[in-house]
Amino acid sequence: MRYKTIAPREADEAVLLASRVLPPFSDEVLAFVDDLSNAILQTKRFKQYPEVMAMAFWMRRANILDLKKQFEQKRGERTWLGRGIVFHIAPSNVDTIFVYSWFLSMLVGNRNIVRVSSATNEQLEALVEVINDVAADPKHTEVRSRFMIVQYEHNDEITGHFSATCHTRVIWGGDETIRRIRAIPLGPAATEMVFADKFSFAVIGASAFLEEEKPSRVIERFYNDAYWFNQNACSSPRLVVWVGNDDEVARARESFWAALEELADKRRLNYAPAVAMNKLIAECAVAINATDTVTVEPHRTSFVNRVLLSNADDLNRELQCGGGLFYEMIIPSLDRLAEIVDPKDQTIVSYGIDRAAFDQFVNGYRPQGINRIVPFGEALTFSAVWDGYDLLREFCRDVDITVR
């Protein structure tokens, strides 16, 4: 059974197994998180990876203390302890997820084994290097002995070994991976969290956009939501739902897409000819499979591709290639979202629709899907509540003490 431990530098599985959990939000863990955050923010090479910078920002002390406060409020007088060893199986499409998953678990005291994708890339290597540098500091001995980041090609024996060892297993999708790993048994008392394939979309109030004084700011935020991770994260918007009357929507669409196109052409983040080609194939596939009218909007460049659908049945959530391919739908009012939402839906990034309208929709229609409704610019902002799980809570067990 061979796997490669890429962090910490002198990892020892036996020591990890023999360690006990730390108390939630221990000083040792807070110091480690803080040091890693600073190390990333101060390392020049990370400037080119906005998602890593965003993660380091999330890790900064003030935010972690905020999480601590929320955690303590929820806990009240209860006794919550880390579950023990958490085995995280990270996704290959979003490099930073493994850190969020590991850190939330570590914050409440757990020991962690993290399997990252065996396909390395510069960003992952840089991240692992800085983690190793920070962990090497003698003051982080307690943290260092409680985590392992491992890499291996898909291997049921190794996955089986960690699965039998851990107290909680976390599988960051997709669906096929979850199916394969679920066939591998956990210990009888272990718990599991899975993050299945998800689909996310934007909802835009057309009249609000037409009245917006600083549309370029709105566009910038949407651009970041869609183009970081090359539109491949579960929470990257892939569909834009316009809310308004025909005339408003027509005018809003025209100025919105023209501005996005201009910005996307200027930035050219993650552009690759193969992706440009994949988008053409997807456009054709949608047209072939359509049950109703679909319109491929003329593209000025390969950075923004759009397919206008007239029927929600033609929205194929599986058909996604990233890189700036947007489906569009038009509805006269928000309640008509009911015709579009699906159990697979995760994040709505919204502009120009107020909270009351969403509250009314969610509580009134009670959709099976939709786990987050956030403003433009926050699609990829990681939250400690994800896909309906309150992660800090899930990583703990409750010790019910009733003696007086």
Q: How far apart are CA 298 and CA 338, in angstroms?
A: 29
375 binds other proteins (CB under 8 A): no
90 binds other proteins (CB under 8 A): yes
CA dist 200 → 18, 141, 320, 374 (Å): 42, 40, 11, 11
> Residue 372, SS3?
strand
Q: Output the smallest distance, CB 52 to other proteins, in A.
A: 15
Q: Which residues lie below 8 Å from residue 140, measured CB to CB, with a gap of 6+?
A: 28, 31, 32, 35, 134
Q: What is the DSSP string of 99-144?
A: HHHHHHHHHTT-EEEEEE-SS--HHHHHHHHHHHHHHTSGGGHHHH
218 binds other proteins (CB under 8 A): no
Residues 155-194 that bind other proteins (CB under 8 A): 171-174, 176-177, 180
CA 395 to chain centre: 18
The residue (of 76 and 273) whose beta carbon lies closer to other proteins is 273
Query: For residue 142, which phi and psi values (nearest 5 degrees)?
Result: -60, -40
399 binds other proteins (CB under 8 A): no
CA dist 36 → 8, 70, 96, 180 (Å): 13, 22, 13, 33
229 binds other proteins (CB under 8 A): yes
Residues 246-305 that bind other proteins (CB under 8 A): 272-278, 280-281, 283-288, 290, 294-296, 298-302
Q: How far apart are CA 106 and CA 36, in angstroms?
A: 14
Q: Output the smallest distance, CB 248 to other proteins, in A.
A: 23
The residue (of 28 and 283) whose beta carbon lies closer to other proteins is 283
Tokens of 396: 């703990």
The residue (of 235 and 350) whose beta carbon lies closer to other proteins is 235
Q: Output the smallest distance, CB 263 to other proteins, in A.
A: 15
The residue (of 78 and 179) whose beta carbon lies closer to other proteins is 179
117 binds other proteins (CB under 8 A): yes
6 binds other proteins (CB under 8 A): no
Q: How far apart are CA 117 and CA 94, in angstroms?
A: 10
Say if residues 85 and 24 touch (Cβ distance below 8 Å).
no
Q: Output the smallest distance, CB 322 to other proteins, in A.
A: 5
Q: Output the smallest distance, CB 195 to other proteins, in A.
A: 9
The residue (of 208 and 280) whose beta carbon lies closer to other proteins is 280
74 binds other proteins (CB under 8 A): no
118 binds other proteins (CB under 8 A): yes
Say if residues 145 and 16 touch (Cβ distance below 8 Å).
yes
The helix or strand, by DSSP H or E, that contains position 169, with its residue range, turns out to be strand 168-172
Question: Looking at 85, 321, 348, 392, which residue binds other proteins (CB under 8 A)?
Answer: 321
Say how many residues touch other proteins, by CB under 8 A. Answer: 55
Question: Looking at 234, 269, 312, 340, which residue binds other proteins (CB under 8 A)?
Answer: 234
Binding-site ranges for other proteins (CB under 8 A): 89-94, 117-119, 121, 153-154, 171-174, 176-177, 180, 197-198, 229-230, 232-234, 272-278, 280-281, 283-288, 290, 294-296, 298-302, 307, 320-323
